[in-house]
Amino acid sequence: MNASPSIAGLRSTPVLLLLIPALFAVWLARPLLPVDETRYTAVAWEMWRTGEFLVPHLNGETYAHKPPVLFWLMHAGWSVFGVNLWWPRVLGALALCLNAFMIKRLGRRMWPQQPQRGGLAAMLFVGALFPFLFSTALMFDLWLVPWVVLGWTALVDSHRGAPLLRTSITFAAAVGFGILTKGPVTLLFLLPPVLAATHWSGRARSAMLAANGAAGRPIDYAADTIESPVATRASRSKFIYATGGLGILLGAAIALAWAIPAGFAGGQEYRDAIFWGQTAGRIKDSFAHSRPFWWFLPLLPGMLFPWLWWPRTYQGWRGLSSKAKDLSRLMFWCLAPAFLFLCLMDGKQPHYLLPLFAMAALALAWNLDTNARFKLRPSLLPFLLPMVVGLAMAFAPLWVSAVDNVAWLNPQILSLSGIVLLALLRPAWSVLQHEALRPLALACLAPITVTALHFGMGSSFYAEYDLEPTAEFVAQWQEEQTPVGYFGSAYYGQFHFLGRLEQPLANPETTDALRAWLEANPEGQMLVVVRRGDPPTFGPAPYPALPHGSRLLQVWESKALLTRLDSLKLP
């Protein structure tokens, strides 16, 4: 196999170092965004405040939509550094670093004689737009990736001849903690390669055991695949099935060790939700935001930028599988069934694909390192997206005023950030001229583009989307024993962590429920959500509206709003 010496020394570390300016830009330009980031910190805050670490709560009610691992990770940092905002915001970057380590480790297990492929794959993953973008956010999916990669590593170790006890425990940890991180969807990424073991696992294990055992040599679990006519595919695959079967049973026990006591502690409704809602109920609810089968396909070039924009990515695949049938088939079973199932599901979100990007990075690293005859020629195509973004930002003064609902954009700051982005593309193009550094130069494009975009949003975006000032008002009202409500939209804990609230907010869903709450709480305060540009349902409020992300927030005293309801003759 002809390895490419030009990329042997590439690592993910230089790309990970770009997390520092990216996180700095994010913290300057972007507060915790509603509704996801504010919701997850609110759940973690309520668990922390009440000391109830078994059952998550949101706004005083049990929260069954997500498992607890991300909340526990926030608690781990708070137990060391105290309750703060910066720790939840750095968790995404820590997840990306952990993903790079796990992908590198899996690459070395897959190709022990070509360990450079693991480092290259890690660089390809962290240099893709979507993984790097999600490292700046507080989300669950980037924390699912290391568990999925750990499960794949257990299967590769079993393929190489590792003891069943070790591989099954490793696979169990991947299944159990993956379920506690994101739910049973973990099995979508881990089951197919187990069920297809007869097809992909080849004849390596029994031949390895026979060859080394007969010669009296210790078994080298990191050795390359050994082919032998004395071994059968059936005798080989049974170890993969055993690893998967035992791992799933033990992994289920890990997940149930939390779910059973949590179900009893949370009550019947919560118990039904975590055992049913995380599986069939979630699939049923996905019809609420149905998307077509092909919905992921046009998003892939953006999510996997710059690699799907690089012509070299599409070269060298023909005949590659014949050089290592076992591993090429393993990649297929890790990628194709999960992607097909996600396409068939009605409820699709782009971040559902993140675990698949890890194996895609390993496949591309294998291709790049194996086919040295395909030159890593410099290409302008991957530079087109950051160039277009940079030019649009640089000429922002010409178009910002014509766009609705972006009054918060500062055209001067946006223009300056665009000019800086274009200026940074010049040294990146210079680095691209050196063949050994071309993948590294491309891997830096997404991070510098994400960083420039965040700097371009400026402090005005922060002010429009920062809910902390409103949360402080709510906290002050609660300290004064003033009832507070939220009307016009579902309340997802937007103010709970930012205001360190101690009490839930009322959230009437109908005008009748609103009237009943106002009559029962004549000294209360009601926050009413209104759309920007639309006439408020109840007319102008006595006080100026507060920024509330893409919407505005009116503040009404109960008596004044009740009077307005009567004057408008609303039910």
The token duo for 320 is 């590659």
What does residue 530 show for φ and ψ, rounded to 5 degrees?
-130, 150
- Distances, alpha carbon 218 to alpha carbons 210, 211, 213, 223, 311, in Å: 11, 10, 7, 12, 45
Give the count of alpha carbons within 13 A of 229, CB side only.
0
Contact 524, 484 (CB under 8 A): yes
Contact 228, 213 (CB under 8 A): no
Q: Write out the H or E segment, with its range, that includes residue 166.
A: helix 164-182
Give the count of alpha carbons within 13 A of 87, CB side only.
19
The token duo for 158 is 């079993």
Whether residue 226 has pLDDT greater than 60: no
Which of 116, 103, 147, 326 is closest to 224 using CA atoms?
A: 326
Q: How far apart are CA 405 and CA 532, in angstroms?
A: 7
80-96 average pLDDT score: 94
Q: What is the pLDDT of residue 322?
A: 65
366-384 average pLDDT score: 77
Q: What is the pLDDT of residue 289?
A: 52
For 539-549, write each residue's pLDDT tens digit.
888 888 888 88
Q: How far apart are CA 273 and CA 439, in angstroms?
A: 46
Residues recorded for the chain: 571
Whether residue 7 has pLDDT greater than 70: no
DSSP string covering 184-233: TTHHHHHHHHHHTHHHHSTTHHHHHHHHHHHTTPPP-TTSPP---TTS-H
Which of 94, 76, 85 is closest to 42 using CA atoms?
A: 85
Whether residue 294 has pLDDT greater than 70: yes
What percent of the chain clears pLDDT 90, i.e. is strictly above it?
Answer: 57
For 556-566, write each residue's pLDDT tens digit.
999 999 998 88
Higher pLDDT, 5 or 517: 517
The token duo for 226 is 């050994």
Q: Which long-range contacts (C-beta less than 8 Å, at least 24 apart) are formed by 480-486?
A: 482/523, 482/524, 482/525, 483/521, 483/523, 483/524, 483/525, 483/558, 484/524, 484/525, 484/526, 484/527, 485/514, 485/517, 485/521, 485/524, 485/525, 485/526, 485/527, 486/526, 486/527, 486/529
Q: How far apart are CA 403 and CA 79, in angstroms?
A: 45
HEC sequence for 245-301? HHHHHHHHHHHHHHHHHHHHHHCHHHHHHHHHHHHHHHHHHHHHHECCCCCCHHHHH
Whether residue 65 has pLDDT greater than 80: yes
Rg (CA), the chain: 27
- Give the pLDDT band (50/70/90) at residue 288: very low
Which of 558, 510, 519 is closest to 537 using CA atoms?
A: 510
For 105-130, write each residue's pLDDT tens digit.
999 999 888 888 899 999 999 999 99
Q: What is the pLDDT of residue 291?
A: 83
In three-state secondary structure terms, 526 is strand
Q: How far apart are CA 114 and CA 295, in angstroms?
A: 37
Contact 464, 405 (CB under 8 A): no
Mean model confidence pLDDT for the chain: 85
Higher pLDDT, 278 or 556: 556
Whether residue 18 has pLDDT greater than 90: no
Q: How far apart are CA 200 and CA 229, in angstroms?
A: 17
Q: How far apart are CA 63 and CA 70, in angstroms?
A: 13
Q: What is the pLDDT of residue 204?
A: 45
Q: Are strands 525-531 and 484-487 parallel, antiparallel or unpaired?
A: parallel
- Give the pLDDT band (50/70/90) at residue 282: low
Q: How far apart are CA 486 and CA 558, in angstroms?
A: 12
DSSP string covering 411-457: HHHHHHHHHHHHHHHHHHHHHHTSGGGHHHHHHTHHHHHHHHHHHHH
Q: How far apart are CA 393 and CA 456, in angstroms?
A: 8
Higher pLDDT, 10 or 71: 71
- CA 389 centroid distance within chain: 23
Residue linked to tokens 């997840």: 95
Q: How far apart are CA 456 and CA 451, in angstroms?
A: 9
Residue 461 backbone zone (phi > 0: left; psi -120 to 50: alpha; other: beta): alpha
Contact 381, 443 (CB under 8 A): no
